[in-house]
Amino acid sequence: MKTYTPRPRDIERRWYLIDAGGVILGRLATQVAAILRGKHKPIFAPHMDTGDHVVVVNASGVRLTGGKEEKKLARRHSGYPGGLTETTYTRLLATRPAFAVEKAVRGMLPKNSLGRTMIGKLKVYAGPEHPHRAQNPERLSLGQVPTWSGLPKPPPVAPTGPQPKAPAKRSGAKAGSAGPRAKRSAAKGSAAKTTSRASTAKSQRAKRTTAKAATTKRTTGSASSGVKTPTRKSPAKRSPARRKKEGE
């Protein structure tokens, strides 16, 4: 059995709207973090960002339980000695409620580049208004799990190879009638050429056979008559003694 890994074409980003008025901060943060990670989808993978976009409104209406408004502190360090800053959540919710929600959600996401990408899909606003009406976000209540409608349909793939050329249209009936005639005449010309070539090849073969027959007759006739053909003798070299006698 192979392990399933989602592909980029299987990931579909949707938009959800959550109203934080009167909601406990911790429970809100857990639901928002799960949607940002994509844990509500069957294709969830911990090494990929399969989550959706979340818009949180009325962040100023979140609350804490157990007296954490005064006990819980939001800390920040500047990096220099003595640069620690502590703020109570009562003051933080009164001045920066959106930051308080973002801080709670960020603490529940992976502490790496994947978590930084996921937190980029979170939009928090202190009031009821938001500028994301064009995305038509779906409204969710606390504890409601988004519905899963299956993998998105892949777009049709356009052919990348060379397209076959369309046959040229004939202008009229005359052109259509002249076409077969021209083809027939061309076929007749090619057939005549092939027949002429074959006839010339046959005549050359006949000439070669007659020449071979004549040469064979001559050789057989001379052998049957028994006449010896005279052979030329090479001139004999005179000895030096005969040359002297002739000179005397």
Please give the Cα distance from 59 to 74 (Å, whole number): 17
Average pLDDT, integer, range 69-87? 95
Quote the pLDDT of residue 15: 96
Gap between the terminal Cα atoms of the chain: 126
Convert the pLDDT of each residue in 210-243 to its tens digit.
767 666 666 655 555 554 555 555 555 555 555 5
pLDDT at 165: 77
210: helix, coil or strand? helix
**pLDDT tens, residue by residue, 14-37:** 999 999 999 999 999 999 999 999
Residues above pLDDT 70, as percent of the chain: 74
161 pLDDT more than 90: no
**How far, in Å, CA of 23 to CA of 246, rounded?**
156
Residue 172 DSSP class:
S
Residues near 16 by beta carbon (within 8 Å), at least 6 away in sequence: 35, 52, 53, 54, 55, 137, 138, 139, 140, 146
Pinpoint the alpha helices (H) of the chain.
25-37, 68-71, 89-95, 97-106, 113-119, 173-225, 240-247
The mean pLDDT of the chain is 83
Predicted structure pTM score: 0.62
Residue type at 239?
Answer: S
Which pLDDT score is estimated for 2?
85
The 10s digit of each residue's pLDDT in 86-139 is 999 999 999 999 999 999 999 999 999 999 999 999 999 999 999 999 999 999
* Tokens describing residue 92: 């933080």
- pLDDT-based confidence at residue 174 (cuts at 50, 70, 90): low
C-alpha to C-alpha distance for 241 and 237, rounded to whole angstroms: 12
